[in-house]
Amino acid sequence: RQTTGRTGIADVSVDIGNTHGDLQILVSKTGQLGVWCDFKEFCSACGGQITVRPRVLGKQQVGATADFEIIKAQSDNRQLPITVIVVARGTIQSSQHFNTQAGPVTTFEVLVVPQLANRFCVLVYYVETCDEVIANVACVETDKACANEISLHLDDHVFPGERTAIYINVDCPNSDVALLAVDKGLYLLNNENRLSRDKLFQAINNCSSSCSNTVASSDGIFDVR
């Protein structure tokens, strides 16, 4: 039995035989009754295994650096050529390649830029000696932030039937801008369809990677839409 520290992480060692397959781990959160989670860690047929996770749990702050760690099997002292891919909003935002350290844990950093808001996934993989791809993924929530500031104003005095100009200013060049004109009377009758910041980020999430922290195999990690 282990208790997490301030980072919310506890290291637990489990003796595993020579067989391969799915290892099911149950974690209990004693601070709240009835809160359980379970996940499966995938081990390849040729013995390869890797895990990636954030070093500090909870939402990551946009503009800050998020620390991650890659964990290999305790007995694996090889320096593995790892590829790290950061996916957000349905697009690969960045990638890097490096060799893991000789020990079981290797750390790396991800700069949480606004393009990663409000959820991103870090996918790591390497190719085992038996040509099998060994992968793992960790998904992280962030603060809601937009990189682009936009302002809009109209002419002050316009009469019905007249043409008017709309002035739009944005910080980022080559920005795609959408305009929606709605009679105020419609919102008085039904205000549920008013566009909001939360609805915008929900739409972004719907277009994001389908990766999750729970997968049955390395192949399932690459199932993105």
Q: Which residue has the tokens 């990551």?
A: 60
User: How many other β-carbons are positioned within 10 Å of the β-carbon of residue 136?
Assistant: 21
pTM (whole model) above 0.95: no
Q: Backbone phi, then psi, for 202, in 5-degree steps?
A: -65, -40
Residue 186: strand, helix, or coil: helix
Q: In this predicted model, what pLDDT tens digit does every residue of 24-43 receive, in sequence order?
A: 666 655 443 332 333 344 55
Query: From CA 16, how far away is CA 142, in angstroms rounded?
Result: 35
pLDDT tens profile 182-215: 887 887 887 777 777 778 777 766 665 444 444 4
pLDDT at 119: 86
100 half-sphere exposure, CB direction, 13 A CA radius = 26
pLDDT at 216: 45
- 186 phi/psi in degrees, rounded to 5: -65, -40
For tokens 């489990």, what's the residue?
14
Residue pLDDT, tens place only, 51-64: 899 998 888 988 89
CA separation for the pair 79, 74 (Å, rounded): 13
Half-sphere exposure of 46 (CA within 13 A, CB side): 8
Q: How far, in Å, CA of 94 to CA of 123, rounded? A: 11
Is 144 within 8 Å of 118 (Cβ atoms)? yes
